[in-house]
């Protein structure tokens, strides 16, 4: 299984309930396709560097997970089909990125 990280931006006009439903939908999709969630982060409403779909802000979320390679294609297809998602990016993590992500998670836990 490979380690991946996905950052996605949700439409800023969504309600809190709609955001939670969307995040849950993608998490469930990953788990159903054999992925193991490592970390989930809600970065909140952030201003965009440039307008996307005439919106100047969006709700950012980060998923870190381990999944088989064949699960990524259908996962990204779900992002493309969902109109609530403005942008997404999935990257495969190498051993250095995995170590950095773990260090970052531990730093966040220490702050909390």
Query: What residue spans define the domains of the chain?
Result: 2-111
63 bridge partner residues: 6, 40
Q: What is the DSSP letter of 9?
A: E
pLDDT in tens, the chain (112 residues): 899 999 999 999 999 999 999 999 999 999 999 999 999 999 999 999 999 999 999 999 999 999 999 999 999 999 999 999 999 999 999 999 999 999 998 888 887 6
Considering only CA atoms, which of 38, 30, 41, 19 is closest in space to residue 86? 19
Cβ atoms within 10 Å of 17's Cβ, excluding its own? 8
Length of the chain, please?
112
52: helix, strand or coil: strand
Which CATH architecture describes the domain 2-111?
2-Layer Sandwich (3.30)
Torsion angles phi and psi, residue 11, rounded to 5: -55, 135
Q: Residue 108: what pLDDT? A: 83
Q: Residue 110: what pLDDT? A: 85
């Amino acid at each position: 299984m490979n380690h991946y990280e996905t950052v996605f931006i949700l439409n800023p006009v969504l309600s809190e309930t709609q955001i939670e439903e969307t995040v849950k939908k993608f998490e469930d999709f990953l788990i159903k396709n054999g992925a193991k969630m490592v970390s989930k982060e809600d970065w909140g409403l952030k201003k965009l560097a440039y307008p996307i779909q005439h919106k100047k802000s969006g709700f950012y979320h980060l998923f870190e997970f381990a999944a088989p390679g064949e699960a990524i294609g259908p996962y990204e297809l779900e992002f493309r089909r969902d109109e609530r998602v403005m942008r997404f990016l999935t990257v495969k993590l190498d051993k250095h990125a995995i170590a950095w992500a773990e260090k970052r998670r531990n730093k966040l836990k220490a702050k909390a």
